[in-house]
Structure 1
Amino acid sequence: MTPEEFRRHGKQVIDWIADYHESIASRPVMSRAEPGDVLAALPEHPPEKGEGFDGLLADLERDVMPGVTHWQHPAFFGYFPSNASGPAILGDLLSSGLGVQGMMWATSPAATELETRVADWTAELLDLPAKFRGNGVIQDSASSACLVALLSALHRAGGGAPGRDGIDRRYTLYISSQTHSSLEKAARVAGVGANNVRVVDVDPVTLAMDPAHLDALISEDVAAGATPAMVCATVGTTSTTAVDPVPAIGEVCRRHDVWLHVDAAYAGVAAVCPEFRWVNDGLAEYAASYSTNPHKWLLTNFDCTLLWMADRAPMLGALSILPEYLRNQATTSGEVIDYRDWQIPLGRRFRALKLWSVIRWYGAEGLRDHIRTGARLADELAALIDADPRFEARPDHPFGLVCFRPLWDGLTTEEANAATLGVLQRLNASGDLLLSHTKVHGHVLLRVAIGAPTTDSRHVLAAWERIREEIAAGATG
């Protein structure tokens, strides 16, 4: 593709993306494709000769788009937001255009130093503790961030032996029933093993981790000869956005000398607003590592997770390997950061460009406005739910998520759960909106996660009316 061909087709692609975002509300939110539909529409064999780009765009619309669920749709309320804003898309395009492989400072100094600066900017915007400044790195996802934190904690718990070589110990990891599943996966990957993942009780109302039970479990494990490696506290759980009591958990970790990682994948970015900075409670005093995802609620398209370390030494000890073919003067000098040592893979994209673009375009005021809009709309929805006696909402919804359930008269819990899941399936199949669900104390709850850049009160009210209609039809049917 010549520069002139790239220029011409690039304009087509930009126009296509702009048209897509402009018209996205007219599309059904959830893909209606059946398993195998997209596969059947695609040629079984690759072309022998190259084809034009015009045909690709036509095939994209005809064959691929029917299998796309539209995460940027204003009526997408499932899972958590996965924001994709114009500045972030353009920043990603710049990254792709440069084609930088930023594994080391020497392979592109700007990729490293812009990332360092952007991580510090974000820490400042969120009012994170000073100990995290200069110690931030962009990961692909919170799953990777938690794995890096666990490997760092294991390195520290093992006395600093690289990779825990030659150490015959049983290590334990502490989570709650509400902790993201990536922590159990991290335990498997890191060699801790699922059997050594200890599940701490939660408060029956708030679903927050119980520090007293954590203390008892750690004491029990130490007495049995285990080495507690890490505790993961969550600020804004995936299920209900429950918030673990980080200061109290931190006190337990300090008493037992255990690494505390705080996973704030969804909710941490809310601290861009001063009124939400309570989510940072306990970080300065106790957190050894902390992560949050701009790619969820901060207008930065996937993938972009920020991980900060209070002390980078255990991470570097766990992950740094320097083969001869990567040796260079800058690395040997010790004056630069090589982010390859801050992650699992060697290679890394120039992700900082899209976060830089977002921060430069929106500024702190624009980012705060986006977060406040999501939280306000969630409050509006919760008020509507509370005013309807046919529904029951969870009382605490501090961010952009509201969890609630229909109250089905005369049905057992099992029957009510089946009825609620039936409503969810019909709503999602309608194309009008998309929700997800969770289960708390045996009851299936509907989750409405608000945060798409184009979502406003109209869309939330329309979704609520559709939910009420579907519940009414189910109750009479």
Structure 2
Amino acid sequence: MDIEEFRNFGKAAVDYIADYFETIRDRPVLPNVEPGYLKDLIPDEAPQEGEPWQDVLKDVDRIIMPGLTHWHSPNFHAFYPTANSFPAIVGEMLSAGFGCIGLSWIASPAYTELEVVMMNWLGKLLGLPEEFLNCSDGPGGGVIQGSASEVTFIGLLAAKEKKVAELKAQNCPLTDAEIKGKLVAYSSDQSNSSVEKSGLLGSMPMRLLPADEHGILRGSVLLEAIRKDKEKGLIPCYVVANLGTTPTCAFDNLEKFGPICQKEGLWLHVDAAYAGAAFACPEYRHLNKGVEYADSFNFNPHKWMLVNFDCSAMWVKNAKYLVEAFNVERLYLKDQHKGLAPEYRHWQIALGRRFRALKLWFVLRMYGVEGIQKHIRHQISLAKYFEDLVCSDSRFEVCSSSMGLVCFRLKGIDALTQRLLKIVGEKKSIYCIAGNHNHKYCIRFAICSRLTEKEDVEFAWKEFKSAAHEVFAMEKTYNIIDEKTEKKIHDIHITSPICEILHEKTK
């Protein structure tokens, strides 16, 4: 492909993306395909000769598009937002076009220099303490990682090496391996699955401690778990606090965790992957009180701040613990600039780095602080509007509501809500997922797409109301069955739809 063909192909691709966004509201949010659908649509082997780009782009529409779940559809309400904006898309294109690898400062100075400044911009936007910023006089600083999963794991590894070094400095008689075999970490049972996974990958048991009825891990529960482990001869090492839990977007109290971690010598990591973006709005910063106790803090601009995946912002109070955990020097990586700028390869697992700061720069410049705040406030207002709609129908109940997430259910046994979600999911016009609140099955309704507006929320609510009519029509049959079957329905696993139970009854 020559330069002229590239121009034409690139322009056609941009037009295709623009057309996609113009029509995304009209597309079913979920694809209508089965596993293995694609293998019969493409050859078993790569072509011997190159094909025209026009044919390739046509096949994107013919083969790829039917298998997409449209995450940026205004009818996508599952999981959490995955951010997207046109400035970020263009930044991603330019990053790919430059094609540099930022494995050291000299490998592409702009990669490091812009990231340093962008992490300062972001930190100030969120109101983080200055000691976390690259512009501070201290040893702290910020770095862009791939995901919150990586950040939690990196924090755990740094905490592990820090704890071993501390104990060896105190003349601990145990070997490094013996110390590492006794280390233990803690988080809430409401934390993201990646938190538990970090413990598996880092060979450090992750205690998932029970949260209260509001989804919050209490300091007293953490303190008791630490006490019991120390009595067993274990060594507490790492705590992951959640600001915006995955199930209900609950907020742990950092002011309670902080003094405990300081007294016990534990690394405190704050996972604010989704909700951290809300701290751009001053009215939500009270939820971040106590962040000064943290050793590391993370949120994902690629969730709620209009920056394409992947872009996960991590700050540490003392970067030396990352460098000491990950520093491996080679002659081919040395240059005369050592110590004059961060060498971000020592702050991460991988050697190479993409130019993620570029798309972040584009978004922050083109939206500005006010644009970011407007976006977040608008999505929170849409979630509140949906909550009000749920409360207006006596058949439903709201389990929890926080930021852009509402968890709700049909009143009654779990099987009713499960059936409701199944009916809605089969229509493929909106997409939500299940959750659990205080041991009750519920539906998580998240405002995800930047394209979602009030009429889209109303459309979703109509879908749920329509499905509820179907569920309660079936419930009339349920009301005449005997007590033995009623008990069976109450005891049945929540993944069994009520229609199947009733079908069994009528056999």
Tell me the TM-score normalized by structure 1.
0.94
Q: Tell me if 1:448 matches 2:445.
A: yes
1-structure distance, mates of 2:40, 2:146: 31
Q: Is the 8 A contact 1:32 1:429 kept in 2?
A: no
Counterpart-to-counterpart distance in 2, 1:71 and 1:336: 38
Q: Of 218, 230, 234, which residue of structure 2 is paired with 1:222?
A: 230
**2-side partners of 1:422 and 1:320: how far apart?**
53
SS of the aligned residue for 2:315 comes to: strand
Q: 1:304 aligns with which of 266, 289, 311?
A: 311
**What does residue range 71-470 of structure 1 map to in structure 2 within 5 Å?**
71-134=71-134, 135-159=141-165, 166-169=176-179, 170-192=182-204, 196-204=205-213, 206-284=214-292, 286-331=293-338, 334-395=339-400, 397-408=401-412, 416-470=413-467
Amino acid at match of 1:267: A
Matching residue's letter, 1:444: Y
**Runs of 4+ residues over 6 Å off in structure 1:** none
In the alignment of these two chains, the number of paired residues is 461
Asked whether the 8 Å contact 1:153–1:230 carries over to 2, the reply is: yes
SS at match of 1:159: helix
Q: Distance in 1 between matches of 2:159 and 2:39?
A: 43
1:409-430 residue CA offsets vs partner (Å, 9 max, x unmatched)? xxxxxxx333322322331231
- Determine the structure 1 residue equivalent to 2:4: 4
- Please state whether the residue corresponding to 2:39 is helix, strand or coil: helix
CA contact (8 A) 2:78 2:448 kept: no
C-alpha distance in structure 2 between counterparts of 1:360 and 1:165, whole Å: 51
Displacement of 1:201 in angstroms is 2.4
SS across alignment from 2:309: coil
Quick check: 181-190 or 136-145, which moved more? 181-190
Structure 1 residues 37-88: Cα deviation after superposition (integer angstroms, max 9, x where no partner): 1222122111101111100111110111110000010111110011211000
Segment of structure 1 superposing worse, 354-363 or 212-221: 212-221
How many angstroms apart in 1 are the aligned matches of 2:332 and 2:422?
A: 54
Give the structure 2 partner of residue 412 of structure 1. Answer: none
Q: Deviations over 1:180-221 (max 9, x none)?
A: 1111111111121xxx222222112x1100210111111222
Q: What secondary structure is seen at the aligned counterpart in 2 of 1:107?
A: coil
Give the residue type in structure 2 aligned to 1:359: L
How much identity, in percent, do the aligned residues show? 39
Q: Following TM superposition, by how much is the alpha carbon of 1:165 offset from its aligned partner in structure 2, in angstroms?
A: 7.9
Name the counterpart of 2:40: 40
2:371 alignment partner, SS class: helix
Moved more, 215-224 or 114-123: 215-224
Instruction: Indicate if the aligned counterparts of 1:371 and 1:451 stay in contact, CA closer than 8 A.
Output: no
Q: Which runs of 5+ in 2 are unaligned?
A: 135-140, 475-507
Q: Any idea what the Cα deviations from partners look like across 1:324-380, whole Å, max 9, x if unmatched?
A: 22222223xx21211111111111111111111100110000000000011001111
The answer as to whether partners of 1:404 and 1:445 remain within 8 angstroms in 2 is yes
> C-alpha separation between the residues in 1 aligned to 2:34 and 2:446?
25
Mapped to 1, the partners of 2:389 and 2:277 lie a distance apart of 26
Shift, 1:263, TM fit = 0.2
SS at match of 1:168: helix
TM-score normalised by structure 2 residue count: 0.89
The separation in 2 between residues aligned to 1:426 and 1:80, in whole angstroms, is: 22
Structure with higher Rg: it is 2
Q: Equivalent residue for 2:471? A: 474
Structure 2: which amino acid aligns with 1:180? N
Cα distance in 1 for partners of 2:218, 2:117 equals 37
8 Å CA contact 2:399–2:442 kept in 1: the answer is no
Contact 1:250 1:260 in 2 (8 A): yes
Partners of 1:442 and 1:39 in 2: CA distance: 41
**Mapped contact 2:248–2:402 kept (Cα < 8 A):** no
Question: For the Cα contact (< 8 Å) 1:265–1:293, is it kept in 2?
Answer: yes
